[in-house]
A = this chain, B = another copy of it.
Protein backbone atom coordinates (compact mmCIF):
# COMPACT_ATOMS: atom_id res chain seq x y z
CA UNK A 1 0.00 0.00 0.00
CA UNK A 2 1.54 3.30 -1.07
CA UNK A 3 0.41 6.40 0.80
CA UNK A 4 0.42 10.00 -0.42
CA UNK A 5 -0.78 13.13 1.31
CA UNK A 6 -4.12 14.50 0.16
CA UNK A 7 -3.56 17.74 -1.78
CA UNK A 8 -5.78 20.80 -1.57
CA UNK A 9 -7.05 20.43 -5.11
CA UNK A 10 -7.81 16.79 -4.56
CA UNK A 11 -9.68 17.71 -1.38
CA UNK A 12 -11.82 20.15 -3.39
CA UNK A 13 -12.49 17.57 -6.08
CA UNK A 14 -13.82 15.09 -3.50
CA UNK A 15 -16.07 17.68 -1.91
CA UNK A 16 -17.59 18.33 -5.31
CA UNK A 17 -18.65 14.67 -5.49
CA UNK A 18 -21.18 15.46 -2.73
CA UNK A 19 -23.22 16.99 -5.54
CA UNK A 20 -25.07 15.00 -8.18
CA UNK A 21 -23.98 17.32 -10.98
CA UNK A 22 -20.29 16.59 -10.42
CA UNK A 23 -20.87 12.89 -9.79
CA UNK A 24 -22.45 12.68 -13.23
CA UNK A 25 -19.58 14.64 -14.77
CA UNK A 26 -16.89 12.54 -13.11
CA UNK A 27 -18.78 9.24 -13.21
CA UNK A 28 -17.63 8.68 -9.64
CA UNK A 29 -19.26 8.53 -6.21
CA UNK A 30 -18.38 8.40 -2.52
CA UNK A 31 -18.82 5.55 -0.06
CA UNK A 32 -17.58 5.57 3.54
CA UNK A 33 -16.31 3.20 6.20
CA UNK A 34 -14.46 -0.10 6.41
CA UNK A 35 -17.53 -2.22 5.59
CA UNK A 36 -18.12 -0.29 2.36
CA UNK A 37 -14.47 -0.66 1.45
CA UNK A 38 -14.61 -4.41 1.97
CA UNK A 39 -17.83 -4.74 -0.05
CA UNK A 40 -16.49 -2.55 -2.85
CA UNK A 41 -13.29 -4.60 -3.04
CA UNK A 42 -15.09 -7.96 -2.97
CA UNK A 43 -17.69 -7.13 -5.59
CA UNK A 44 -16.58 -5.68 -8.83
CA UNK A 45 -19.54 -3.72 -10.20
CA UNK A 46 -18.20 -0.29 -9.21
CA UNK A 47 -14.39 -0.42 -9.17
CA UNK A 48 -12.57 1.41 -6.37
CA UNK A 49 -10.60 4.32 -7.88
CA UNK A 50 -8.93 5.53 -4.70
CA UNK A 51 -9.18 5.61 -0.93
CA UNK A 52 -8.76 8.54 1.43
CA UNK A 53 -7.99 7.61 4.99
CA UNK A 54 -7.46 9.56 8.20
CA UNK A 55 -3.82 9.06 9.24
CA UNK A 56 -4.70 6.96 12.32
CA UNK A 57 -6.81 4.56 10.29
CA UNK A 58 -4.24 3.82 7.56
CA UNK A 59 -3.11 0.63 9.30
CA UNK A 60 -6.67 -0.73 9.53
CA UNK A 61 -7.25 -0.80 5.77
CA UNK A 62 -3.99 -2.27 4.58
CA UNK A 63 -5.30 -5.83 4.36
CA UNK A 64 -8.43 -4.77 2.51
CA UNK A 65 -7.05 -3.20 -0.61
CA UNK A 66 -4.90 -4.22 -3.50
CA UNK A 67 -1.60 -2.49 -4.23
CA UNK A 68 -2.74 -0.80 -7.42
CA UNK A 69 -5.26 1.42 -5.63
CA UNK A 70 -3.93 4.84 -4.60
CA UNK A 71 -4.40 5.70 -0.92
CA UNK A 72 -4.28 9.28 0.34
CA UNK A 73 -3.97 10.24 3.98
CA UNK A 74 -5.47 13.32 5.61
CA UNK A 75 -5.98 14.92 9.01
CA UNK A 76 -9.08 14.45 11.15
CA UNK A 77 -10.18 17.97 10.24
CA UNK A 78 -9.81 17.35 6.52
CA UNK A 79 -11.76 14.09 6.88
CA UNK A 80 -14.59 15.98 8.57
CA UNK A 81 -14.67 18.36 5.62
CA UNK A 82 -14.78 15.71 2.88
CA UNK A 83 -17.01 13.24 4.73
CA UNK A 84 -20.77 13.26 4.18
CA UNK A 85 -21.47 11.73 7.59
CA UNK A 86 -22.12 13.44 10.90
CA UNK A 87 -19.55 11.25 12.62
CA UNK A 88 -17.03 10.32 9.90
CA UNK A 89 -15.65 6.79 10.03
CA UNK A 90 -12.21 7.91 8.87
CA UNK A 91 -12.31 6.09 5.53
CA UNK A 92 -13.61 7.44 2.22
CA UNK A 93 -13.76 5.41 -0.96
CA UNK A 94 -14.13 6.89 -4.43
CA UNK A 95 -15.74 4.44 -6.84
CA UNK A 96 -16.49 4.50 -10.56
CA UNK A 97 -20.15 4.66 -11.52
CA UNK A 98 -20.85 1.70 -13.76
CA UNK A 99 -23.96 2.04 -15.88
CA UNK A 100 -26.04 -1.01 -16.69
CA UNK A 101 -28.01 -0.84 -19.91
CA UNK A 102 -31.36 -2.50 -20.42
CA UNK A 103 -29.88 -4.46 -23.31
CA UNK A 104 -27.68 -6.30 -20.82
CA UNK A 105 -30.69 -7.17 -18.68
CA UNK A 106 -32.41 -8.64 -21.73
CA UNK A 107 -29.58 -11.14 -22.11
CA UNK A 108 -29.76 -12.66 -18.66
CA UNK A 109 -32.74 -11.57 -16.57
CA UNK A 110 -33.55 -13.19 -13.19
CA UNK A 111 -36.98 -14.64 -12.49
CA UNK A 112 -37.68 -12.04 -9.81
CA UNK A 113 -37.21 -8.40 -10.73
CA UNK A 114 -38.03 -5.22 -8.82
CA UNK A 115 -39.10 -1.95 -10.49
CA UNK A 116 -39.10 1.20 -8.34
CA UNK A 117 -41.17 4.04 -9.76
CA UNK A 118 -40.05 7.55 -8.69
CA UNK A 119 -38.82 6.56 -5.24
CA UNK A 120 -37.60 9.85 -3.80
CA UNK A 121 -36.17 9.25 -0.33
CA UNK A 122 -32.50 8.19 -0.44
CA UNK A 123 -32.71 6.29 2.86
CA UNK A 124 -35.65 4.28 1.53
CA UNK A 125 -33.91 3.45 -1.75
CA UNK A 126 -30.71 2.35 0.02
CA UNK A 127 -32.65 0.26 2.55
CA UNK A 128 -34.68 -1.41 -0.22
CA UNK A 129 -31.44 -2.33 -2.04
CA UNK A 130 -29.99 -3.78 1.18
CA UNK A 131 -33.15 -5.85 1.77
CA UNK A 132 -33.35 -7.02 -1.85
CA UNK A 133 -29.71 -8.16 -1.71
CA UNK A 134 -30.47 -10.07 1.52
CA UNK A 135 -33.12 -12.01 -0.41
CA UNK A 136 -30.76 -12.41 -3.37
CA UNK A 137 -32.62 -10.14 -5.78
CA UNK A 138 -29.79 -8.51 -7.64
CA UNK A 139 -31.39 -6.88 -10.66
CA UNK A 140 -33.26 -3.72 -9.76
CA UNK A 141 -34.81 -1.22 -12.15
CA UNK A 142 -35.33 2.46 -11.37
CA UNK A 143 -37.74 4.70 -13.26
CA UNK A 144 -36.86 8.18 -14.53
CA UNK A 145 -37.19 10.87 -11.80
CA UNK A 146 -35.95 8.58 -9.03
CA UNK A 147 -33.57 9.87 -6.38
CA UNK A 148 -29.96 9.65 -7.63
CA UNK A 149 -28.66 6.13 -7.07
CA UNK A 150 -25.23 7.43 -6.08
CA UNK A 151 -26.51 9.94 -3.53
CA UNK A 152 -24.35 9.38 -0.44
CA UNK A 153 -27.41 8.57 1.70
CA UNK A 154 -28.47 5.85 -0.74
CA UNK A 155 -24.97 4.37 -0.71
CA UNK A 156 -24.85 4.48 3.11
CA UNK A 157 -28.29 2.94 3.67
CA UNK A 158 -27.50 0.16 1.19
CA UNK A 159 -24.78 -1.01 3.63
CA UNK A 160 -22.55 -2.24 0.83
CA UNK A 161 -25.33 -3.93 -1.17
CA UNK A 162 -25.03 -1.38 -3.99
CA UNK A 163 -21.63 -2.84 -4.91
CA UNK A 164 -23.03 -6.28 -5.71
CA UNK A 165 -26.18 -5.42 -7.66
CA UNK A 166 -27.09 -4.65 -11.24
CA UNK A 167 -29.14 -1.49 -10.97
CA UNK A 168 -30.72 -0.20 -14.17
CA UNK A 169 -31.47 3.52 -14.10
CA UNK A 170 -34.02 5.67 -15.93
CA UNK A 171 -36.05 2.76 -17.28
CA UNK A 172 -39.39 3.86 -18.72
CA UNK A 173 -42.34 1.78 -17.63
CA UNK A 174 -43.37 1.32 -21.27
CA UNK A 175 -40.09 -0.38 -22.02
CA UNK A 176 -40.47 -2.63 -18.98
CA UNK A 177 -44.03 -3.44 -20.00
CA UNK A 178 -42.95 -4.56 -23.49
CA UNK A 179 -40.15 -6.61 -21.99
CA UNK A 180 -42.54 -8.28 -19.51
CA UNK A 181 -44.97 -9.27 -22.26
CA UNK A 182 -42.22 -10.60 -24.52
CA UNK A 183 -40.55 -12.61 -21.76
CA UNK A 184 -43.69 -13.81 -19.96
CA UNK A 185 -43.24 -11.95 -16.69
CA UNK A 186 -46.24 -11.12 -14.53
CA UNK A 187 -46.32 -7.47 -13.46
CA UNK A 188 -47.40 -7.22 -9.82
CA UNK A 189 -48.27 -3.76 -8.50
CA UNK A 190 -48.04 -3.10 -4.75
CA UNK A 191 -50.98 -0.91 -3.71
CA UNK A 192 -51.85 0.40 -0.21
CA UNK A 193 -55.22 -1.40 -0.14
CA UNK A 194 -57.59 -3.46 -2.24
CA UNK A 195 -55.02 -5.79 -3.77
CA UNK A 196 -54.68 -9.54 -3.18
CA UNK A 197 -53.56 -9.95 0.46
CA UNK A 198 -49.86 -10.70 0.22
CA UNK A 199 -50.12 -13.83 2.40
CA UNK A 200 -52.71 -15.34 0.05
CA UNK A 201 -51.03 -14.32 -3.17
CA UNK A 202 -49.77 -17.09 -5.45
CA UNK A 203 -46.34 -16.48 -6.89
CA UNK A 204 -45.68 -17.06 -10.56
CA UNK A 205 -42.34 -18.30 -11.78
CA UNK A 206 -41.40 -15.03 -13.44
CA UNK A 207 -42.44 -11.91 -11.63
CA UNK A 208 -41.73 -8.19 -11.69
CA UNK A 209 -42.72 -6.37 -8.51
CA UNK A 210 -43.72 -2.71 -9.00
CA UNK A 211 -43.35 -0.26 -6.10
CA UNK A 212 -44.16 3.45 -6.25
CA UNK A 213 -43.41 6.82 -4.68
CA UNK A 214 -43.46 7.17 -0.85
CA UNK A 215 -46.58 9.34 -0.68
CA UNK A 216 -48.20 9.07 -4.09
CA UNK A 217 -47.66 5.35 -4.74
CA UNK A 218 -47.72 4.02 -8.29
CA UNK A 219 -49.37 6.03 -11.04
CA UNK A 220 -52.88 5.07 -12.16
CA UNK A 221 -51.48 4.06 -15.57
CA UNK A 222 -48.99 1.61 -14.10
CA UNK A 223 -51.57 0.08 -11.73
CA UNK A 224 -53.95 -0.43 -14.64
CA UNK A 225 -51.34 -2.04 -16.85
CA UNK A 226 -50.15 -4.45 -14.16
CA UNK A 227 -51.39 -8.06 -14.31
CA UNK A 228 -52.29 -8.10 -10.63
CA UNK A 229 -52.33 -5.95 -7.51
CA UNK A 230 -51.17 -6.99 -4.03
CA UNK A 231 -51.52 -5.33 -0.61
CA UNK A 232 -50.30 -5.89 2.92
CA UNK A 233 -53.44 -6.22 5.05
CA UNK A 234 -53.53 -3.88 8.05
CA UNK A 235 -54.80 -4.92 11.45
CA UNK A 236 -54.30 -1.58 13.13
CA UNK A 237 -55.41 1.98 12.70
CA UNK A 238 -52.32 3.62 11.23
CA UNK A 239 -52.63 4.99 7.74
CA UNK A 240 -49.73 3.35 5.99
CA UNK A 241 -46.42 1.55 6.22
CA UNK A 242 -43.07 3.13 5.44
CA UNK A 243 -42.14 2.28 1.81
CA UNK A 244 -38.97 0.35 2.68
CA UNK A 245 -40.94 -1.65 5.27
CA UNK A 246 -43.71 -2.51 2.79
CA UNK A 247 -41.04 -3.48 0.25
CA UNK A 248 -39.34 -5.75 2.80
CA UNK A 249 -42.51 -7.64 3.69
CA UNK A 250 -43.34 -8.19 0.02
CA UNK A 251 -39.77 -9.19 -0.88
CA UNK A 252 -39.83 -11.63 2.01
CA UNK A 253 -42.97 -13.26 0.60
CA UNK A 254 -41.67 -13.25 -2.98
CA UNK A 255 -38.09 -14.27 -2.50
CA UNK A 256 -37.48 -15.11 1.09
CA UNK A 257 -40.19 -17.23 2.56
Contact = CB atoms under 8 A, between A and B. Distances in A.
Interface of A: 35, 123, 127, 130-131, 133-138, 157, 159-161, 164, 199, 232-242, 244-245, 248-249, 252, 255-257
A196 to B, nearest CB: 14
Contacts of A255: 235
A238 B199 CA distance: 26
Contact of A130 (B235, B242, B248, B252): B242
A133 B238 contact: yes
Task: Count this chain's copies in the assembly.
Answer: 2
Contacts of A256: 199, 232-233, 235, 249
Contact of A134 (B133, B157, B235, B252): B235
Contacts of A134: 232, 234-236, 238, 240-241
A90 B130 CA distance: 34
Nearest to A256: B235
A41 B7 CA distance: 57
A81 to B, nearest CB: 21
14 contacts: A123-B123, A127-B245, A130-B242, A131-B241, A133-B236, A133-B238, A136-B236, A157-B242, A160-B239, A199-B256, A248-B248, A249-B249, A249-B256, A252-B252
Contact of A239 (B127, B159, B199): B159
Q: Pick from A123, A233, A241 the residue with the most CB of B within 10 Å.
A: A241
A192 to B, nearest CB: 11
Nearest to A161: B238
Contacts of A237: 133, 164
Contacts of A161: 236, 238
Nearest to A234: B134
A159 B236 CA distance: 13
A236 B133 CA distance: 6
A33 to B, nearest CB: 12
B127 A238 contact: no
Contacts of A245: 127, 130-131, 244-245, 248
Given A199-B257, A257-B199, A241 B164 contact: no
Nearest to A237: B164
